[in-house]
Chains A and B, each alone.
Chain A
Amino acid sequence: MKAHIKVTLKKGVLDPQGKAIEGALGHLGFAGVLGVRQGKYFEIDIAETNKANAMTEVRAMCEKLIANTVIENYDIELA
């Protein structure tokens, strides 16, 4: 099974990289950009075949390492 994980900065956490990208898009002439937030995407191959068990395991991975829950949220999709 494969876990697709999106890690994004929590609302209110300053994202200077997103701001820099927003600026660069402006330089390229994209006038309609209202904001950019940058995040991370992970694909993890796991041996577990039971979806519920896999979700428990991947959630623990996110809590313990993949995301820093002080500043980040995570979203898991299993496929």
Chain B
Amino acid sequence: MKSAVVVFPGINRERDMMVALETVTGHKPFAVWHTETELPKVDLVVVPGGFSYGDYLRCGAIAARAPIMTDIRAKALKGLKVLGICNGFQIITEAGLLPGALVRNSHLHFVCREVKLKVENNHTFFTNKMTEGAIVSCPIAHGEGNYICDAETLKVLEAEDRVVFRYAEGTNPNGAMNDIAGIINEQGNVIGMMPHPENMIEPLHGKTDCRPLFESLLAA
């Protein structure tokens, strides 16, 4: 399982992601600078969290138009697995790889804490080692994680079982529609999520709830 982590100016979670990937898969991921125009040969590309371009214009908007994104988009269409975490979710959504948008948290505050996530779909490349309906702990850290989309898109996401993660009932930290924390595209190879599973895989993180997510990559 070879992977690459894309690095943009202002991103700050790429190291945590690279450590998590290497720890679980045994392969050191490539770090790919945003001005590159071609990805190395990999099975998975991760767009990590942070604050690319200082969240200028809209979160993820500038990074979504970076040179490397053209190759990511082209390869995603051909089935390359793409995982966007936090700002990465915002970036791949801005890039049109996932539907909808992430807007300012409904209460306007930045939230940085642990939340409970419900695994809604365990038939994906990032959740196949999870039990459907399982509730896991995962950290979040974002000011713009409020997922919105039009009514028709929401209906399709729900009908096609494309909500992968939901904030556990009554714990929605940002106002996201239907408590959505993470979704998958129609083809099943692009996942975006606001929480940071890479920070809940080692005993030193306090809990290891999210380690099976990374172990899922090995089976996918």
Binding site for B on A (CB under 8 A): 13-14, 16-17, 20, 64-66, 68, 70-71
Provide a sorted-by-A list of 30 A–B residue pairs whose CB atoms are within 8 angstroms. Answer: A13-B103, A13-B148, A14-B103, A14-B106, A14-B146, A14-B148, A16-B104, A16-B105, A16-B106, A16-B107, A16-B108, A16-B175, A17-B104, A17-B108, A64-B65, A65-B57, A65-B61, A66-B57, A68-B58, A68-B61, A68-B94, A68-B101, A70-B99, A70-B100, A70-B101, A70-B149, A70-B150, A71-B101, A71-B103, A71-B148
Best-buried of A13, A20, A71 by chain B (most CB within 10 Å): A71
**C-alpha spacing A69/B199, complex, angstroms:** 33
Chain A residue numbers with a CB within 8 Å of B108 are 16-17, 20
**C-alpha spacing A20/B108, complex, angstroms:** 8
Give the residues from 94 to 114 in chain B that come closer than 8 angstroms, CB to CB, to chain A.
94, 99-101, 103-108
A16-B106, A17-B108, A70-B150 known; 18 other A-B pairs, CB under 8 Å? A13-B103, A13-B148, A14-B103, A14-B106, A14-B146, A14-B148, A14-B175, A16-B105, A16-B108, A16-B175, A20-B108, A65-B61, A65-B65, A66-B57, A68-B94, A70-B99, A70-B101, A70-B149
Chain A residue numbers with a CB within 8 Å of B100 are 70
Chain B residue numbers with a CB within 8 Å of A68 are 58, 61, 94, 101
**C-alpha spacing A14/B174, complex, angstroms:** 12
Question: Which A-chain residue is minimally distant from B150 (CB atoms)?
Answer: A70
For the A-B complex, the count of residue pairs with Cβ-Cβ distances under 8 Å equals 34
**C-alpha spacing A14/B106, complex, angstroms:** 8
Q: How many residues of B contact A (CB 8 A)?
A: 19
Binding site for A on B (CB under 8 A): 57-58, 61, 65, 94, 99-101, 103-108, 146, 148-150, 175
Chain B residue numbers with a CB within 8 Å of A14 are 103, 106, 146, 148, 175
Chain B residue numbers with a CB within 8 Å of A64 are 65
Chain B residue numbers with a CB within 8 Å of A65 are 57, 61, 65
Q: How far is the CB of A12 from chain B (nearest CB, A)?
A: 9
**C-alpha spacing A2/B103, complex, angstroms:** 29
Q: How far is the CB of B16 from chain A (nearest CB, A)?
A: 28
**C-alpha spacing A17/B61, complex, angstroms:** 19
Question: Which A-chain residue is minimally distant from B60 (CB atoms)?
Answer: A68
Question: Which A-chain residue is minimally distant from B153 (CB atoms)?
Answer: A70
Chain B residue numbers with a CB within 8 Å of A17 are 104, 108
Chain A residue numbers with a CB within 8 Å of B103 are 13-14, 71
